[in-house]
Amino acid sequence: MGDPTSGDGQPPDDTAADGPTLTPKGEARRRALLDGVLTVLEAGGPSAVTHRAVARAAGVPVSAATYYFAGRDDLLRAALRHATTDWARSFDRLERASLRDLAETLVRYAVTERGAARAQYELLFTAMRDESLREDAELWYSSLEHVLSRAGVPPDRVDVAALAVDGLIVRMLWRGEPGTAAATERVLRQVVGPLS
């Protein structure tokens, strides 16, 4: 630790949060690793997420995984954060959302990209056990509530509607059904209640 005769193999800084300040180009590799986690998760479940499997999926050597992420925990942590913020952003992008827009996004999320969505939900469940991931998970749920309220759901119904949409997502992940935006919108209208 006090003898830097040569490169000591440690990602320079990257303290905590969201600062990509110190990785100009290898940031792509980081992202590839994170996507690799989802790929592996999708194919083999949580217990298949190993340094080696993730590295193989990302097409990088094993040591890259330990270079960018201190340990398996950091890897999973970062993958959850990556996946949830990604999707939360895509919800937030629906500024003045209609139920139709929301339905389209849901179908894209839970049917078209089913594998990734399943993986994210699996991570979400994992986060139940880890207090330090609570925050990221809440982000997901709160952005769901926000998009519903922007879609015209009255305030005193938003949380109940969010429950139902969450359940709807889980069902879509299970059965791939409803599989079209039109059908999803129909269910959404039932779910959201008399008003809209």
Instruction: Choose among a second copy, DNA, none what residue 109 binds, the Cβ cut-off being 5 to 8 Å by kind.
Output: none
The token duo for 118 is 């399943």
* Closer Cβ to a second copy, 96 or 129, answer by number: 129
> Do residues 49 and 43 touch, judged by C-beta distance below 8 A?
no
Rounded CA separation 68/65 (Å): 6
Q: Which of 84, 126, 143, 184 binds a second copy (CB under 8 A)?
A: 126
Q: At what angle do helices 27-44 and 72-92 cross, to 10 degrees?
A: 90
Q: Which of 80, 110, 181, 191 binds a second copy (CB under 8 A)?
A: 191
78 touches a second copy by CB under 8 A: no
* Closer Cβ to DNA, 35 or 145, answer by number: 35
63 touches a second copy by CB under 8 A: no
Cβ–Cβ contacts within 10 Å for residue 151, how many?
21
Rounded CA separation 151/157 (Å): 12
Q: Where on the chain is the footprint of a second copy (CB under 8 A)?
A: 42-47, 49, 118, 121-122, 125-126, 128-129, 137, 141, 157, 160, 162-168, 170-171, 173-174, 187, 190-191, 193-194
